[in-house]
Amino acid sequence: MNAAFAASGIPSEGALAFFSAGLLDTVLKCHLVSQVVPASAIPQTFPNLPYPTFFNPAPTLTALARLNVFPSTRNGAWLNNIPLKQTDIPAYNGMIHKVAAVVMPPSRVLWNRINTDTVSTNPNALAYLRAAIIRADSGYAPNAAPSLIYFLNNPLANFTVFAPTDAAFRATLTGAIAQALIAQGMPPADALATAAALASTPAVFSNPALYGVLTAQTVRGIVAYHVLGNRAFSNNLPTTATAYPTLLNGVVPTHPGITLQATFGAPPFVTAATVKGLANATASNVLITLPPVMEPGGSSDQHYVNGVLHKIDQVLLPQ
């Protein structure tokens, strides 16, 4: 619909000029699934079910790959994080649902975003998360299973990453290091100043003096605690606080996971969302950008070939 082009920043009267032939073909394929899906058949469950489109995001890997879209009738009717404006329009050879914006295909994988979102002057950058992932992968071959980078680079994977910002990591690491130094007998004021200096850059994860505390296994567990093994846009989150497992549950099956909650406003977008770790005193806030802003400029609902990324303002602590 014309309004969808306008909502995506694309003038409907100039859409053909905006798109190259190859890009237009890709965008159209992202809007097509190979089955009739009436709104009544779209589940309300979390996580919502993937539906393969006509577009192959990894043709060099396999001819069978398909980019999934994620329709949902949880808290409204959606395709990914885009509202459906009208549903169940019958056609001779299928069914049409009108979307509020163009479903643009993602062009990058999650690791690419994390690996490049490292501007030191931006407190919401992800340089510490990048350094933590590299520390967690110590001892593993680069970009080979079972390294975290391998999984975050895999275009066929399907994750949700709750990504603590640099400011969030600095606050958590400063507090943790200060407590350790105080336990060793350092005066509190000196401990805090020393901890702040040690945690002032992402190099804290590669400092040999801290390897005994920030072990690769410990850091790997913390990073895994920030990742869901499925794709969750903010509009798919529950409106009451509900616990869900993370990748850490692959090692600790009985762990209660993280607690998610979203608040909806009008128009029907998420205006606030929280995620809480088991050992966090308070919930972390998802840094919501309204209306949803496509990557790399946004901080929530950042859509990638192999998942979704949401920036958060606290590090999630599993214990």
**Burial 192-211, CB ≥16 within 10 A → b, else e:** beebbebbebbebbeeeebe
Residue 141 pLDDT > 90: no
Helix ranges restricted to H, the chain: 2-7, 15-18, 21-29, 110-116, 127-136, 148-153, 166-183, 188-198, 216-224
Residue 9 pLDDT > 60: no
How much is the pLDDT for 195? 94
The residue with greater pLDDT, 24 or 148, is 148
C-alpha–C-alpha distance, residues 178 and 184, integer Å: 10
Enter the tokens of residue 83: 């509202």
Q: Read off the pTM.
A: 0.90
Highest CATH level, class, for 110-312: mainly beta
How much is the pLDDT for 11? 53
Tens digits of residue pLDDT in 195-226: 999 999 999 999 999 998 899 999 999 999 99
Cβ neighbour number for residue 178 with a 10 Å cutoff: 22
Residue 312 pLDDT > 60: yes
| Confidence band of 292 (pLDDT split at 50, 70, 90) | confident
Residue 19 pLDDT > 60: no
How much is the pLDDT for 20? 53
Residue 266 pLDDT > 90: no
| Confidence band of 103 (pLDDT split at 50, 70, 90) | confident
The residue with greater pLDDT, 111 or 319, is 111
Question: What is the residue whose two structure tokens read 């998420």?
Answer: 270
Backbone angles phi, psi at 112, to 5 degrees: -60, -40
Question: What is the residue whose two structure tokens read 């001779």?
Answer: 92
The residue with greater pLDDT, 24 or 92, is 92
Q: What is the mean pLDDT of residues 96-123?
A: 91
Highest CATH level, class, for 2-99: mainly beta
> CATH 2.30.180.10: which residues of the chain?
2-99, 110-312
Question: What is the residue whose two structure tokens read 């802003």?
Answer: 293
* Length of the chain measured in residues: 319
